[in-house]
Amino acid sequence: MSRVYNFSAGPAVLPEEVLREAAEEMMDYKGSGMSVMEMSHRSKVYDTIIKEAEADLRDLMQIPDNYKVLFLQGGASQQFAMIPMNLMKNKKAAYIVTGQWAKKAWKEAQIYGEAVSVASSEDQTFSYIPDCSDLDIPDDADYVYICENNTIYGTKFKELPNTKGHTLVADVSSCFLSEPVDVTKYGVIYGGVQKNIGPAGVVIVIIREDLITEDTLPGTPTMLKYKTHADAASLYNTPPAYGIYICGKVFKWLKSMGGLSAIRERNEEKAKILYDFLDESSLFRGTVAKEDRSLMNVPFVTGSDELDAKFVAEAKAAGLENLKGHRSVGGMRASIYNAMPKEGVEKLVAFMREFEEKNR
Ligand SMILES: *Cc1c(COP(=O)(O)O)cnc(C)c1O
């Protein structure tokens, strides 16, 4: 068996301990005589799996009792519609457009009501987070929407926007569980798990109870109502059962690592190794405003498309995979999620140093 260092933005690297445990349990989960993939989602064994997953997540994030945790499908992209369908009582919402995912969510919301862009960083290819301390938010906006970590561009909100009392909705797909969070500051926190938590196919929605109502936009399908899933504890229909099981293992792994404060420290340490090198390098440079740098996604360039392509190819040959930047921006991007070991980042930087020497 040989594993590479996988810098993919998603689906992405998972902890080896988790993969090994899942492999061991593949044929016979804890004496049940079957794989978790094969069991009824209504069985007692599975009930324990999903309940434990939720309890561990609540524990990790210190989620208050007046928030529901939902395990859903449809990816983060389905939430782009579900959020306005469920939350747009006044048919108005404010969007902060800091990248492609935020923009997609904003566009989708326009189908359902008046979605206003109250701030954007598109003028500089989304390379920074705009000042959100005093935005012009319509009084009757149902919520303020952000994409907290911009996976493609590598920026992160270091401070939440001043929503002026409006409900904050955040897509945290690519920074989920990367650091402690104060859940009470949000109405909805959601993310696809394939970036930092588990296999594709699960999206986790953490939503304050008062936002879960029957009063959805006319025509909202049953499956797209938060209430449907909240009332059924994520078992209205067959959930992405195996994916939730893996997420549960990752939650336990995070707890064994010391929880989210410890993980943040580890993530800061890892990111520093890479950013420090980018700041001193004569060949490579980071592409975003320093104060807005993400701990999870690190885009960088050489300034030459040719050298970029050469770097990506040679890195791959050296066991450092998926370093090509998003197709919309080019260059390189190293995603260094929770499960990327420090050695992976060290190897990457050593390889970059060597490449720099040879290509001066
Ligand atoms: C990947 C990603 C998405 C899209 O996720 P899907 O599960 O593919 O719909 C949305 N938002 C962010 C921040 C992402 O990183």
The region of weakest confidence among 49-53, 228-232, 315-319, 327-331 is 327-331
User: Which residue in 190, 179, 100 sits closest to 143, CA to CA?
Assistant: 190
Q: What is the pLDDT of residue 353?
A: 98
Calculate how far, in angstroms, residue 60's C-alpha sits from the geometric centre of ligand 1: 22
| The pLDDT of residue 286 | 96
Catalytic site residue 106? no
Q: What is the pLDDT of residue 140?
A: 98
Percent of the chain with pLDDT strictly greater than 70: 100
CB 281 within 8 A of CB 352: yes
- Ligand 1, atom 11, lies closest to the CA of 101
Q: Clarify whether 101 is annotated catalytic.
A: yes
From 101, 106, 225, 308, active-site residue = 101
For 307-347, the pLDDT digits (tens) are 999 999 999 999 999 999 998 888 999 999 999 999 999 99
Cα 298 from Cα 197, distance rounded (Å): 18
What is the pLDDT averaged over residues 354-358? 97
pLDDT of residue 251: 98
Gap between the Cα atoms of 292 and 279, Å rounded: 15
Residue 27 pLDDT class (50, 70, 90 cuts): very high
Residue of 174, 294, 322, 333 with the most ligand 1 atoms within 8 Å of its CB, for mutation: 174
pLDDT at 360: 82
pLDDT higher than threshold 80 for residue 1:
no
At residue 159, the pLDDT reads 97
Closest ligand 1 atom to residue 79 Cα is: 9
Q: Please determine, for residue 78, whether its predicted confidence score (pLDDT) is greater than 80.
A: yes
* pLDDT score for 328: 81
Taking the centre of ligand 1 as the mean of its atom positions, its distance from the CA of residue 9, in whole angstroms, is 10
Q: How many angstroms is it from 8 CA to the middle of ligand 1?
A: 13
Cβ-contact 337, 196 below 8 angstroms: yes
Tell me the torsion sign for CA atoms 155, 266, 343, 8: negative
**Residue 130 to residue 126: CA distance in whole angstroms:** 9
What are the Cα distances from residue 77, in Å, to 105, 107, 132, 203, 246? Answer: 8, 12, 24, 9, 21
Pairing of strands 167-171, 203-208: unpaired
Question: Counting beta carbons within 10 angstroms of the beta carbon of residue 41, is it exposed (0 to 12), middle (13 to 18) or buried (19 or more)?
Answer: middle
Tell me the average pLDDT across 252-263: 98
The model's pLDDT over 187-219, given as tens digits with 9 standing for 90+, comes to: 999 999 999 999 999 999 999 999 999 999 999
Distance CA 121, CA 129 (A): 6
Ligand 1: nearest atom to the Cα of 174 = 15
First-to-final CA distance of the chain:
36
Ligand 1, atom 14: closest residue by C-alpha? 173
Across the chain, what does the average pLDDT equal?
Answer: 97
Cα 196 to averaged position of ligand 1 atoms, centre (Å): 11
Active-site hit among 92, 195, 249, 324: 195
For residue range 158-185, list pLDDT tens digits in order. Answer: 999 999 999 999 999 999 999 999 999 9
Q: Whose CA is nearest to atom 8 of ligand 1?
A: 75
Q: What distance in angstroms lies between residue 198's CA and the mean position of ligand 1's atoms? A: 13
Inter-residue contact 137 to 159 (CB < 8 Å): no
Pocket test for ligand 1, best of 71, 100, 173, 329 (most atoms within 8 A of CB): 173
Of 171, 252, 270, 308, the active-site residue reads: 171
